[in-house]
Amino acid sequence: MGSSDFEEYKADRCILHIGPPKTASTTIQRTLRRAAPQLVSSGVLYPSLAANHRFLATLCSSDPMRLRQVTKHKITRAEVIARNLESQRLFEAEFRATKPRLLILSSEHLVQLYQDRRGLHTLREYLLEFAKRVDVIFYVRDPLLLMISRLFHGIKRGDRRLNAPLENMPVSPAPDIIEAYRAVFGSDNLKLLMFPGDLPSKTDIMESFWSATGLSALGSGIDTVSANQSLSGAGLLIADALSDIQNDNSSRVMNGSRLQHIRGPKLRLEAASVAQLRERCEETYRYFRETWGIEFPDRDLVGPPPAQQDLFTSDSVQGIAQTFSEVAEELKVAKREVAQLRRRLNLEKSRQ
Q: Look at residue 168 and tell me whether its pLDDT is greater than 90.
A: no
pLDDT at 7: 59
Q: Where are the domains of the chain?
A: 13-219, 233-265+313-351
**Four-way CATH pick for 13-219: 3.30.70, 2.60.120, 3.30.565, 3.40.50:** 3.40.50
Predicted pLDDT at 226: 83
Average pLDDT rounded to a whole number, residues 67-79: 94
> Any idea what DSSP says for residue 103?
E
**Mean pLDDT on 264-269:** 93
Inform me whether the pLDDT recorded for 28 exceeds 60: yes
pTM over 0.85? The answer is yes
**pLDDT greater at residue 230 or residue 111:** 111
pLDDT band at 286 (very low <50, low <70, confident <90, very high): very high
> Is residue 348 scored above 80 in pLDDT?
yes
**53-57, 73-77, 315-319: segment of lowest average pLDDT:** 315-319
| CA–CA distances in Å: residue 55 to residues 213, 307, 335, 344 | 22, 44, 38, 42
Calculate mean pLDDT across residues 102-122.
98
Whether residue 316 is predicted with pLDDT greater than 70 in this model: the reply is: yes
Residue 105 binned pLDDT confidence (cut-offs 50, 70, 90): very high
pLDDT given for residue 201 in this prediction: 64
Distances (CA, A) of 169 to 152, 172, 174, 190, 288: 11, 9, 15, 28, 20
Q: Does 9 have pLDDT greater than 90?
A: yes
Report d(CA 42, CA 165) in Å as an integer. 51
Instruction: Report pLDDT digits (tens) over 190-244.
Output: 999 999 888 666 678 999 999 999 999 999 999 999 877 789 999 999 888 887 6
Residue 176's pLDDT band (cuts 50, 70, 90) = very high
Q: Give the pLDDT mean for 136-143.
A: 97
- Judged by DSSP in three states, 120 sits in helix
Mean pLDDT of 128-132: 98
Residue 159: the pLDDT is 82
CB distance 131 to 141 below 8 Å: no
Mean pLDDT of the chain: 91
pLDDT of 349 reads 83
Residue 273: CA count within 13 A, CB half-sphere = 22
Q: Which residues contact 165 (CB under 8 A, 6 or more apart)?
A: none
Split at pLDDT 50, 70, 90, the class of 254 is low
Position with higher pLDDT, 164 vs 80: 80
Give the ranges where the chain is alpha helix by DSSP (H). 25-34, 36-40, 55-60, 68-72, 77-98, 117-127, 143-157, 174-185, 205-212, 216-219, 233-242, 248-253, 256-259, 271-280, 282-292, 314-351
Q: Give the confidence band of 327 by pLDDT, cuts at 50, 70, 90.
A: confident
Stretch 234-255: mean pLDDT: 68
